[in-house]
Amino acid sequence: MDEVDFVNFILIIVLLFFLLFIVSAPFIVAYNLFVWLKDSFFPPKIDNKKRQILSNNCNFYSRLDSSEKERFESRVMLFLKEVNFSSRKMLLNNEIKLTVAGVAVSLTFGLYDWNYPLLKRVIIYPSTYFSKITKNKHKGEYNPSFKLIVFSWKDFKHGIKYESDNLNLGLHEFTHALYFSFLKSNSKDAIRFIENFNQILLYLKDENLKNQLLEAKYFRDYAFKNKYEFIAVLIEHFFETPAELKAKFPYIYDNLKVMLNQNPIQLK
Ligand SMILES: [Zn+2]
């Protein structure tokens, strides 16, 4: 094959790929539209066994009325369809997947944009694990580049079992995933979330208010590491001890209520 033939050959290959793209593009768009319409009008169904698992493992769900439960269930099923689960050194089952999805759906239940666009994978370890990414031992982590959350199942379970100790690994990591996606979004929910959180951060600039927060010893020290940890820890408190948070720092509670469009005091 001389040089001219080779160039022609490459051009033909490029042209063929281009034609293939042109021909297939409308089918891909049509298929995605079909899936979107199907999921919007006929969300994946939940059965009684799965409902029972949600009732046993997700207090947020069990306190909802019947129409809210229906909305919660369809979001859980969509979450499980969108997010890929895997495990290391342990077996994965429906109970684990539904319990994790239940926490994710609880956090964003008040929002229209509830579904974590910057999350595609969840990996479960039995307990604390050594992270190849950070080279440290972890109970959990969120990685926006990999759209990945990793949990130690032991610590995740602790988070949902002890409801008032302000430690909830699931809520913590899902808050990271939510905050990162809202930083990149212009939706109404995202704008309201970011504006109100910036308002909270502004309080921290007031030395008196910051000292009040530190001296109260209510939020663990880790909260003050950076703004990402601060919002994650605030939200753990918002769900676990909402009445105490409102009594101690009403302005923070009110901002969080607007950010998530829900009021956990009514559910507790
Ligand atoms: Zn964190």
Ligand 1 centroid to Cα of residue 237, in Å, is 14
Provide the CB-side half-sphere exposure for 45 (13 A, CA). Answer: 3
Ligand 1 centroid to Cα of residue 172, in Å, is 6
Q: How far apart are CA 260 and CA 178, in angstroms?
A: 11
Ligand 1 centroid to Cα of residue 99, in Å, is 20
For residues 1 and 66, membership in a common domain is answered with no
Ligand 1 centroid to Cα of residue 166, in Å, is 14
For residues 194 and 254, membership in a common domain is answered with yes
pLDDT of residue 9: 86
Ligand 1 centroid to Cα of residue 229, in Å, is 5
Ligand 1 centroid to Cα of residue 21, in Å, is 42
Ligand 1 centroid to Cα of residue 228, in Å, is 7
pLDDT along the chain (268 residues), means of 10: 79 88 83 76 83 96 96 96 96 97 98 97 97 88 96 97 95 98 97 98 90 93 94 98 96 97 87
Ligand 1 centroid to Cα of residue 33, in Å, is 36
pLDDT of residue 1: 62
Instruction: Render pLDDT for 116-133 as a digit per residue (tens, 0 to 9).
Output: 999 999 999 999 999 887
Report the DSSP pairing between strands 84-87 and 121-125: parallel
- Residues with Cβ within 8 Å of 248's Cβ and at least 6 positions away in sequence, in order, are 216, 218
For residues 210 and 235, membership in a common domain is answered with yes
Domain that holds residue 142: 48-267
For residues 86 and 107, membership in a common domain is answered with yes
For residues 159 and 55, membership in a common domain is answered with yes
Query: In total, how many domains does the chain have?
Result: 2
For residues 111 and 21, membership in a common domain is answered with no
CB atoms within 10 A of CB 101: 25
Ligand 1 centroid to Cα of residue 189, in Å, is 22
For residues 60 and 5, membership in a common domain is answered with no
Whether the CB-CB separation of 255 and 199 falls below 8 Å is answered with: yes
Tokens matching residue 99: 């319990």
Ligand 1 centroid to Cα of residue 22, in Å, is 44
For residues 107 and 189, membership in a common domain is answered with yes
Ligand 1 centroid to Cα of residue 218, in Å, is 17
Kindly give the residue spans of alpha helices, DSSP state H, lying in 108-206: 153-161, 169-183, 188-205
Neighbours of ion ligand 1 (CB under 5 A): 229, 232
pLDDT of residue 5: 84
For residues 72 and 7, membership in a common domain is answered with no
Q: How far apart are CA 205 and CA 199, in angstroms?
A: 10
For residues 5 and 92, membership in a common domain is answered with no
Q: How far apart are CA 165 and CA 158, in angstroms?
A: 10
For residues 170 and 117, membership in a common domain is answered with yes
Q: How far apart are CA 31 and CA 35, in angstroms?
A: 6
Question: In what order do the strands lie in the sheet containing 148-152?
Answer: 84-87, 121-125, 148-152, 140-143
The alpha carbon of residue 247 and the mean position of all alpha carbons in its chain are separated, in whole angstroms, by 27
For residues 33 and 107, membership in a common domain is answered with no
